[in-house]
Amino acid sequence: MKKEQILSLEYGDKHAKIMFIGEGPGADEDIQGEPFVGKAGQLMNKAFEYIGIDRSKVYIANIVKCRPPGNRDPEEDEASACMDYLRNQVILIKPKIIVLLGRIALQHILGPEYKITASRGKWFDKKGIKYMPTWHPSAVLRDENKKLYFIRDLLMVLQKERTLQ
| CB nearer ligand URA, residue 36 or residue 162 | 36
CB of 163 to ligand URA, least distance (A): 28
CA distance 109 to 126: 10
CB of 128 to ligand URA, least distance (A): 25
Three-state secondary-structure class, residue 136? coil
CB of 27 to ligand URA, least distance (A): 9
| CB nearer ligand URA, residue 47 or residue 163 | 47
| CB nearer ligand URA, residue 23 or residue 153 | 23
Other CB atoms within 10 Å distance of the CB of residue 21: 26
State the SS3 of 24-88.
CCCHHHHHHCCCCCCHHHHHHHHHHHHHCCCHHHCEEEECCCCCCHHHCCCCHHHHHHHHHHHHH
Interaction site with ligand URA (CB under 6 A): 22-26, 29, 35-36, 40-41, 62
Cα–Cα nearest to 65, from 108, 14, 22, 109: 22
CA distance 95 to 98: 7
CB of 48 to ligand URA, least distance (A): 14
Residue nearest to ligand URA (CB): 22
| CB nearer ligand URA, residue 24 or residue 164 | 24
